[in-house]
Amino acid sequence: MGKDKLRRFAEIKAFDNVFELDEGKALKGSWTKKHFQNNYPLILELACGKGEYTVNLAQLYPEKNFIGIDYKGNRIWRGAKTAIEENIPNVAFLRIQIESILDYFADQEIAEIWITFPDPQPQISREKKRLTSPRFLDMYKVILQQSGMMHLKTDNDDLHSYTHEKIDELKLKLHIKTEDLYRSDFADEVLSIKTYYEKKYLAHDKNINYLKFSFH
């Protein structure tokens, strides 16, 4: 592991807005009360990477709480440090494997879930690792409130198509579907938030796909 990664791993242990592995389990069912100390809605970004979306959403909506989830601490470091430096109190980060998400959030604790540019896991043998596979969707359904929305932004056309197929198969409610977000009428200030990787895709004229759906 490089020196920069080691430094970042050490540094996030001192951040009061980062919870690693078992640290977050004690907050299950009470994130808003115990950590954020308010009663605002709680929103997750899964596979948040450097946390750009999480931080930008928190800045747009100070009346909501946001948690970015990823396993790579050296990536989370960037978003957590930005939130501290810019004094954004409604942001936290959780370093866990998303497979264990039910250990960290209670039934219907979450108001909304964002999945932004996840690893598409293109191999058929890795379908269960796709963050929109039925295995994961079943988990989200448990922690998401009945009125809660799911969002998927991806540059990967196959993951977009796969997720749309699962929405149909599982008879979920589709609210928005577009294969070219920035040439559609849906690109508002929220959907126009751009991560580092999204900017790279757009520089190569790659279309951005978006799906918004719910379980109820």
Sheet of strand 144-154: strand arrangement: 18-20, 91-95, 65-70, 42-46, 110-116, 144-154, 209-214, 173-178
Q: Residue 64 belongs to what domain range?
A: 3-214
Mean pLDDT of all residues belonging to the chain: 94
Instruction: Return the amino acid letter for 88.
Output: I
| Coil, strand or helix at 95 | strand
Indicate whether 167 pLDDT > 60. Answer: yes
Q: Of residues 22, 103, 107, 119, which has the active-site annotation?
A: 119
Q: What is the pLDDT of residues 64-110, one digit of tens each?
A: 999 999 998 888 999 999 999 999 999 999 999 999 999 999 999 99
* Rounded Cα–Cα distance for residues 45 and 67 (Å): 6
Beta strands in the chain (DSSP E): 18-20, 42-46, 65-70, 91-95, 110-116, 144-154, 173-178, 209-214
Share of the chain above pLDDT 70, in %: 99
Lowest mean pLDDT among 105-119, 132-146, 183-197: 183-197
CATH of the domain at 58: 3.40.50.150
Indicate whether 175 pLDDT > 90. Answer: yes
Share of the chain above pLDDT 90, in %: 87
- pLDDT band per the 50, 70, 90 thresholds, residue 207: very high
* Rounded Cα–Cα distance for residues 189 and 181 (Å): 12
Mean pLDDT of the region 152-169? 97
Indicate whether 1 pLDDT > 60. Answer: no
What's the confidence (pLDDT) of residue 2? 65
With helix as H, strand as E and coil as C, how does 149-194 read?
EEEEEECCHHHHHHHHHHHHHCCCEEEEEECCHHHCCCCCCCCCCC
Q: How many domains would you assign to the chain? A: 1
Q: Which helix (H) or strand (E) holds 5?
A: helix 3-12
DSSP 172: P
Indicate whether 174 pLDDT > 70. Answer: yes
| Contact call for residues 102 and 143 (beta carbons, < 8 A) | yes
Around 147, how many Cα atoms within 13 Å sit in the side-chain half-sphere? 3
Task: Please indicate whether residue 119 is annotated as part of the active site.
Answer: yes
Token pair of 210 as six digits: 């978006």
What's the confidence (pLDDT) of residue 73? 84
- pLDDT band per the 50, 70, 90 thresholds, residue 50: very high
Mean pLDDT of the region 4-9? 76
Alpha-carbon torsion angle 154, 156, 162, 165, nearest 10: 60
Indicate whether 133 pLDDT > 60. Answer: yes
